[in-house]
Each structure stands twice: as C-alpha cells, then as structure tokens.
Amino acid sequence: MASETARHGKVVAIRGAVVDIAFAEGYLPPINDALRIEAPDSAPVHVEVQAHVDMTTVRTIALQATTGLRRGTAVRPLGRPLDVPVGKAVLGRLLDVSGEVRDGKEPLPDDVPRSPIHRDPPRFAVENGHPELFRTGIKVVDLLTPLAQGGKAAMFGGAGVGKTVLVMELIHAMVAGYQGISVFSGVGERSREGHEMLSDMTETGVLERTVLVYGQMNEPPGARWRVPMTALAIAEHFRDEERRNVLLLMDNVFRFVQAGSEVSGLLGRLPSRVGYQPTLASEVAALQERIASANGHSITAIEAVYVPADDFTDPAVTTIAGHVDSMVVLSRAMAADGMYPAIDPIASSSILLDPLIVGEDHERVANAVRRTIEHYRELQDVISLLGMEELGQEDRLLVGRARRLQRFLTQPFNVTKAFTGLEGRSVSLDDTLKGCTAILEGETDDWDESALYMVGTLEEARARDAAARTDRGAA
C-alpha cells in the first residue's frame, strides 16, 4: 500500500470541466471516487473519477468551476466517493452538490454525519410492496393519476405549461397533510426560481422540515449531473437511519439527463440516439431505482420532466417514463384554453388506478370521466366544421358533460393567488368523486359551464350557479 503522500497526484491537463490527473505508478483511484484539487490561491475543487486513461492517469469531471486551476496543482484522493452531510442538522438548509451550505447562515457542525452520494438501491427483500395512497388535494391528480407513498410520479410537459407551479402546489399540499421530511433537488434551476422557492418555504413554515439541494444552471455539468445523487443520499439517511418517510421533489430531471449528455461529450464518448449519451438508460436507472420503500419507510418522488419541443417520443422522456408509477402529462392546448392545472386526462396515467388499490367506485368514475372526455375529443373536428347542431341528441349531451367535467377538474392553486386573486382550494377525494358522478349523471346539465370553472367542490359551483341565476333574474 502506497503511503498517503505517495498517493497524491497532480493536474496534467484541464479542458473545461474535464481534468486529467496523474498519480505515481502503482496507485489509481477507482471509478466514481472523489478527489480534491487543492489550489494554493483559490477554493478547493472536487472532481470525480470517470475513466482510467493509462497506467498512471485518470480522467475526472469537475463538480465545481475550474476557473483559475493550472497544471501541476496538487490533488488529494479522498479514498471514497463524495460524501455529504445528512441528518437533522441539514433540515432548513440550502446545500450545493458537495454538501457545502449556500444560504449565508452559520456552517454545519463538525460532527454532522455524512453519507456517500453513490449507493446501491435497496434489495428486493427489504422493499415494501403494498402501496399507500398519497393524497394531494388536487382533483385531477387524485382522480386520474393517484400517487403512492414510496412511488414515483413525474410531471411531463414542455416549456411554460406549469410543471414548476404544480410541484410548488404539491409542496403546499404536503405542508397541510404530510408530516414527513421533504428534500427538494433543484437540477439546473434558475437563480430566480431558487430564491422564490426559498422565500415561499420560509413564509409557509415548511422550511424547518425541508432540505434544499441545488445545482444551478450556471454551474458545471458535473454539479448538475450529481446533485440528484446528493439529494438522494440525504433522503436515504432519513429513511434508513432516522426511520422517517421522505418526500423527494426534483425539478427538473431532464436537466439531469442533459448534464449527463454534456459530461459524456466532454469525455469523448460517441453519442447515441438524438445525440444523447450511450449510457442514458443506465444513468436514469441508477437514479430512479434508489427511490423506494424499505424497512417500513418510504421515499416518495415527485419529479418535473421537461419535454423538449413537446416531443413525447424523445429518448430522455421515454426512458424516464419507464421508471415512474404515475405519469402526469401537461398539455399545451389545455394551457392555451385556460384549463389549469393543464393536465391531459387522456394521456396521463397511473398503475395505481386499480380497483384492488383505489376501490371499485374510484376506478369506475375515473374511467367514465376519461371515456366522456375522449368521446368529446373525437367529435371536436365535426363540431369545428359543422357546429354542435349537426350532432345527435346523445352526443350533444355527452359533449356538454365533457366540457363541464373539464371545467370542474380545474382548480385555483395557493401558489398562484398573487396572479389570479383566487384563494387556493384543496379538495378531498370524496368530494371529487361526488362532483364527477353528479356531472356524469346529468345533475349539472342545465348549469352554466362557467359555474364549474376554477372551483373546489360541486357545492361551491352550485352556489355560484344559483347566484348567476339570481343576477340574471334581477336583470
């Protein structure tokens, strides 16, 4: 075994975020090990081993900016993968990929426990196989794409259709009804979004039960690529050591894939389909398979996924979709029509929408809602060309009910109150099922459609319709 000093290396090449480091013959740090470049006139830089170039040289990817580094700088191997602070000390704090605090408050105590960012997923023998539903208070989500504790849900959508708003509203829902720990991972986030998230969490009082982990847009690809692993290490500690349920929120998983693609290009790997890295499937699997229930406690993941150019056949999107239990698909057409949340009831799905899990009534109502809205979409071309008058009486009735269902499934959010002026609504599943059943059975056929738009329960819509009738009568 080489002595500690003999194991030190030195920088021999720097190409942006890629740093080549030479060691004395007889010692090469393993793949995924962390190294610390200790420049005399700047802050230390952590790098991660990605390839063995020859018998004495490793190629690494930097987790911090390499500005100011020079060849010949000393490098100290840590002898392990990067480890980050975990446990109660990090609650209410904002960390970067290497676990350094970035919120301007006092540093973490020296005795804080640490955990490596690379770990194997739980063994099947200790995973829990009986899902417990996770109620959000968002009508369309609870009805059509139920989420499970210990499961993975992803919000798929293009730019500007409301993914981040939906994730923010789920955080509010968690404040009201969920008493576990939350870990928010901002992958390639804008600085503005990070400041908004921090201030919102402080105002709502949820920050003391939350850990924020950020790898921002301006950081090197290595930081954006590894920041979800840092968040997972913290979540796993709370699940396994503190025996707590954890809600893991990630925004945006596509930027994790994008950062991996940048890293792959920097390392000189040949690109695969549509220019993505050849290791796309294994990288996504390494992240997603660690999100699970184990030993009676769970990590529940809610992930925002950007869909480039609204192309749902993109390899990154289809790879991520293969790992999730609930797919919440956001529709640009619905957003353009003002149907917020702009969740497509037909394209969205969940493996939990099963009578053995949610009950027969829930499954029956959800499928009836889907069929009614799908039938309306099939008739839309006819309506656009010829008008409603050309439809048969039964079809006209179904179209009216589908339009009312679409409006009833809209909902004002707490996080959008500043823009809309409407108080946010949280609706129980029972109220959602009662409202949809009443619309499907024709109870609202003579109501004005606008009475059902942006309301909580059916009773609220009934009161609004009655008020509108009174106003018309007075006029």
SS3 assignment for 217-235: CCCCHHHHHHHHHHHHHHH
The answer to whether the annotation marks 435 as part of a ligand binding site is: no
Q: Give the Å distances, CA to CA, from 45 to 70, 148, 157.
A: 12, 39, 35
Nearest to 61 by CA among 96, 39, 31, 84: 31
The answer to whether the annotation marks 265 as part of a ligand binding site is: no
Distance CA 54, CA 432 (A): 63
The answer to whether the annotation marks 136 as part of a ligand binding site is: no
Token pair in block for residue 78 = 């840590």
Q: Which of 7, 59, 93, 189 is catalytic?
A: 189
The answer to whether the annotation marks 468 as part of a ligand binding site is: no
Based on the residue annotation, tell me whether 190 is a catalytic residue of this protein: yes
Q: Which of 163, 226, 290, 404 is catalytic?
A: 163
The answer to whether the annotation marks 72 as part of a ligand binding site is: no
8 A C-beta contact, residue 428 and residue 177 = no
Q: Give the Å distances, CA to CA, from 241 to 109, 113, 235.
A: 19, 11, 10
Distance CA 429, CA 140 (A): 10
The answer to whether the annotation marks 161 as part of a ligand binding site is: yes
Element (H, E) at 366: helix 360-386
The answer to whether the annotation marks 424 as part of a ligand binding site is: no
Based on the residue annotation, tell me whether 189 is a catalytic residue of this protein: yes
The answer to whether the annotation marks 105 as part of a ligand binding site is: no
8 A C-beta contact, residue 350 and residue 326 = yes
Helix, strand, or coil (residue 376):
helix
Binding residues: 157-164
Which residues are tagged catalytic? 163, 189-190
Residues annotated within the binding site for ATP are 157-164
